[in-house]
Amino acid sequence: MGRFAVILPAAGRSSRFGDPKQKKIYAEIEGRAVWLRSVDPFLKHDDVAQIIVAIAEEDQELFDRRYRESVAFLGIDVIVGGAERSDTVASALERVKPECDFVAVHDAARPCLTADQVAAVFKAAEAHGAALLATPVFETIKRANADRLTTETVSRDNLFLAQTPQVFRRDWLVEAYARRAEHGKAATDDTQLVEAIGHPCAIVPGSSHNLKITTQDDLAMAKAVLDLREKARPAACGHPYADEQAMWNDLPRLKPSDLFGG
């Protein structure tokens, strides 16, 4: 089995989140920040050799003050991202450890990902070289003109909504980013860049629960999803980070694998 690096771009401005006091990735769900919940499913996989979180330059002091202990405990590498998402991923790629054969890119604002979904997309990436989570389009799609008047109904056959993680052979993703200026416009996700150099990406069934937080409504939905998931668990399987600070104080020598198994 290959070794995986995970990149979480977290340098965005959260301009649509609607909270002037904090960015969406730092909002908390049951006392745990969104970005940390987005990391959690990867900690359960022994084949993850590195996790890189790329934050905005202006967030460095806040991030260090709030999350220094969590970052140290979990062995996360923190870097400063760029002006655009693609710049951030490109910078993170330069920091990937040489032993990593695959790179997964996951939105830091997707806190409802599951370990099973991670395992499935990792397996597909090993088989095909590139893979992503995605869900079929079920709604009717309309194309409109500049005046918002409909011009056609678009067939939804074989249309999918892309999610993350998106996982790639490292050499493919490095080449795709090295050639990204050739495409003349900003890519909306990493699979677009990899497709542009001739590599199709395998689709792995995602879930509507794997939502990306953009607005306050999305945060409320994510809280509901995680609450329902928690209630469905056996009573003995509480979240290992229910009291993160206490765990750090009481168990300073434990590795993540000691907590999550593997």
Residue 136 covered by a domain: yes
Q: What is the mean pLDDT of the chain?
A: 87
**Residue whose C-alpha is closest to residue 121's, from 240, 260, 6:** 6
**Residue whose C-alpha is closest to residue 102's, from 39, 41, 165, 179:** 165
Tokens, residue 230: 């928690």
pLDDT tier for residue 132 given thresholds of 50, 70 and 90: very high
Residue 257 covered by a domain: no
Residue whose tokens read 């095909």: 128
pLDDT tier for residue 257 given thresholds of 50, 70 and 90: very low
Residue 112 covered by a domain: yes
Residue 256 covered by a domain: no
User: For residue 120, is it left (φ>0), alpha (ψ between -120 and 50) or beta?
Assistant: alpha
Domain interval for residue 231: 4-251
pTM of the model: 0.85
Residue 211 covered by a domain: yes
Query: In this structure, what CATH number is given to the domain that contains residue 45?
Result: 3.90.550.10
Number of domains into which the chain is organized: 1
Burial level of 33, CB count in 10 A (0-12/13-18/19+)?
Answer: buried
Give the least confident one: 30-39, 136-145, 152-161, 243-252.
Answer: 243-252
pLDDT digits (tens, 9 = 90+) for 167-218: 999 999 999 999 998 876 677 899 999 999 999 999 999 999 999 999 899 9
- Tell me how far apart the alpha carbons of residues 155 and 140 are, in angstroms, rounded to a whole number: 8
Residue 146 covered by a domain: yes
Residue 181 covered by a domain: yes
Q: What's the rounded mean pLDDT across residues 139-149?
A: 96
Can you give the pLDDT at residue 44? 87
pLDDT tier for residue 237 given thresholds of 50, 70 and 90: very low
Largest CA distance in the chain: 63
pLDDT tier for residue 248 given thresholds of 50, 70 and 90: very low
Residue 261 covered by a domain: no
